[in-house]
Structure 1
Amino acid sequence: MPPLPTAIVELAGRQHRRGEAASRLLLQNRAFTFVEGYQLRRRIGRIDIHAELARIRPEDRGFAYEGAALAAGLADLATPRRGSWRNGPRGCDTHLGDLLAGPGAGFVHLIHVGAGWSAALLPWRVVHRRLALDPLLRWLALDGAGFARGFFGGPRWIRRLANRPDRQDPVQAVLWQGVGRSLWFVECGDGFGLSRQIERFPPGLRRELWAGVGLAASYAGGCTVRHLEQLRTLGGEDRAALAQGAVFAAEAQRTAGHIPAHTEAAVGALTGVSGHTAATWARDSYESARALGPEIESYRWWQWEIRRRFTAALG
């Protein structure tokens, strides 16, 4: 596995917006924790990885698991495939299977996202075919691939992406959600900067970008009440997508055992309901989506159902 120095995720070095000092410091720390998780998994391998990750602050631990998942995914891609999700994470004789076992089960969403970062180095189809991932949550890996491309590509690459046509492809839609998440870091939580970036994209892609913004703002944090109100206004007609991203964040945090104050505040502002109510929307509709099968259309139905519930709650 290649080394991943902290310099590679420094926001200033990637020419990301400077933003407000508090937001920038927090988001930079999240990125550094991702690298810490990667380096831990790279250095100690499978042995005691959960014990080492448990030393990281709870509010940052998900990012460390995400980084560790990138390292584990690369290790699996470098070795013959030896497991299948059909046997469950404990039955997968893979590096990702080990990471998903035990305490890692609480970070199942972040681990799938982190595994998708490997698509920044390898073709997505190779990653998708080779890694033993959950049949439905595997599409979160595509979100992770979009985030990696947006984060490392930076503002210029994102502006070039905006000139691509909207192909109405569900796989591309999920990839754009990851790009939307990366915009939260690229623009350092600046709502007007985010809006300007998103307005450059074809109308059909904007709602997916806002979904990614909602997830990043709610999970990573880095925004005040004023910022959240600004986001809700800027999302405009795509507010349901923005809310859906926040719901995903609430479910990921609750699965890890606790919805922190910054996620609770963001989810409340963007959805109008509590974090636990939002997480229940995600959990209930997830079970229905699983029953539909493992294809991308089932994953998209899951997201649309959450957006429908949000719209119904608005009255």
Structure 2
Amino acid sequence: MGTAWRALRRRILTPNASATLLDVRGFHKKSPAAQENLETVGRRFLEGYAYAAEAATIDDAVAKLDQIEPYYRGFAYEGAGMGYGIRDGLPLGGKHHLDDFLAGEGDKHVYMVYVGLGWAMCRLPKFAWRKAETLDPLLVGLVLDGYGFHQAYFKTKRYVEEQYVEKFDWLTSWGEGQANHGIDQGIGRALWFIGGSDGPLVASMIAKFPEHRRADLWAGTGLAATYAGGADETELLAYRDLAGDYAPMLAQASSFASEARVRAGLVIPHTRVASKVFCGMSPEDAAQLTHDARRDLPADGDVPAYEVWRQRVAGRFAAMGGVSR
């Protein structure tokens, strides 16, 4: 396929970068530094998406992805996950881009790639969605996270202000309503961006949701606060205190974010600060705790294995009596 066609495909498929600006989205701006951080996340995501849309080969895309600075490289891989998910859903151009990506360098970033696939589903008609049974049955919950993030980020009035609840039947192996846990985790992650990484504001937004949704929302914010950043240690400590009884959910999600960065070799100073605050341990130890909790998980049932995994991790942090203050 010629270079001109690939460049055209990139221009047609890639969203406008202005869509990531906090002013355009109407999101809160806590400070210039926080704004720049969150907007850079969006730019790097779209760069990764564009690389996947245009690259002639997986190796070509990876070579560009790996030039992104470590702080934001995971978001570029997330964008590439969306890009390859979109390409696989198109009528022309092949159906195995995502699999080929995950068979190589993308495997180190599998958590982010799966989240990116959730974004792709929001931009494709349902008949073009990837079949759930072709994905890792444990990590498929991350696709829901990506779906929820996208919907809250781009349809904020409906999903955040009006608190719309999705009727989602893509995962037939999951019990009724279970998919909404994953979607709410993605919505929570988006709240960290919508609230401009301003902890008290984000907490107040969560408080407006029904109580039965708040655990997942707090978890989503904990993952974003650890992986994307935007708050210093003092702010994170205050945010953990605001979580109250939901602190184990913050720890669970923070440990998942640590695992994603450890697996990809992208641990940054902020990861260490957030893991210490939320988990009371290093990112490496939090990642190991997450690994250990994966052992002997049941097959999907009324409660999916992914949710059992999350509950186990949260339970272990709760049993520790919380992070010392």
Scaled by the length of structure 1, the TM-score of the pair is 0.89
Displacement of 1:283: 1.2
Partner in structure 1 of residue 78 of structure 2? 66
Q: 47-56 or 63-72: which moved more?
A: 47-56
Seen in structure 2, the aligned counterparts of structure 1 residues 261 and 132 have a Cα distance that, compared at 3 Å, is: same
Q: Residue 134 of structure 1 aligns with which residue?
A: 136
Q: Which residue pairs with 1:89 in the alignment?
A: none
Give the equivalent residue in structure 1 for 2:9.
none
Letter in 1 for 2:189: R
TM-align CA RMSD: 2.4
Paired residue type of 1:12:
D
Q: TM-score, normalised by structure 2?
A: 0.86
Residues 15 and 154 in structure 1, CA contact (< 8 A), matched pair in contact too: no
Q: 1:161 aligns with which of 160, 163, 184?
A: 163
Which residue of the other structure, out of 290, 294, 299, is the alignment partner of 1:293?
A: 299
* 1:236-288 residue CA offsets vs partner (Å, 9 max, x unmatched): 11111111110110100011024211011001101112211110111122243
In the alignment of these two chains, the number of paired residues is 302
How far does the alpha carbon of each residue in 1:159-204 deviate from its partner, in whole angstroms, 9 at most, with x for none? 1116899x98221011000000001111110111111111110001
| 1:226 is aligned to 2:226 | no
Q: Is contact 1:198-1:206 (8 Å) kept?
A: yes
* Aligned position for 1:302: 309
Off by >3 Å, runs of 4+ in structure 1: 79-82, 122-126, 162-165
Q: Distance in 1 between matches of 2:120 and 2:282?
A: 34
172 and 227 in structure 1: CA distance in 2 versus 1, 3 angstrom threshold? same
Amino acid at match of 2:131: R
In the alignment, the residues of structure 2 paired with residue 297 and residue 123 of structure 1 have an alpha-carbon distance, to the nearest angstrom, of: 26
Q: Quick check: 1:70–1:115 contact (8 Å CA) kept in 2? A: yes
Query: Which residue in 2 is equivalent to 1:85?
Result: none
Per the alignment, residue 170 of structure 2 pairs with none
| Equivalent pair of 1:81/1:94 in contact (CA under 8 Å) | no
Matched, 1:282 2:290: yes
Pick from 270, 277, 291: which aligns with 2:278? 270
Question: What SS does the aligned partner of 1:239 have?
Answer: helix
Alpha-carbon distance in 2 for matches of 1:301, 1:137: 12
Mapped pair 1:312 → 2:325:
no
For residue 185 of structure 1, the aligned residue among 184, 190, 193 is 193
CA contact (8 A) 1:16 1:154 kept: no
Correspondence for 1:86: none
Instruction: State the partner residue of 2:172.
Output: none
Which residue is 2:215 aligned to? 207
User: What letter is aligned with 2:235?
Assistant: H
CA distance in 1, matches of 2:273, 2:86: 35
Counterpart Cα distance in 1 of 2:157 and 2:278: 25
Q: In percent, how many aligned pairs have the same letter?
A: 34
Q: What does 1:1-315 correspond to in 2, within 5 Å?
A: 2-47=13-58, 48-79=60-91, 94-122=96-124, 127-129=129-131, 132-154=134-156, 157-161=159-163, 169-289=177-297, 292-294=298-300, 297-314=304-321
The 3 A distance-change label for structure 1 pair 164 and 106 is closer
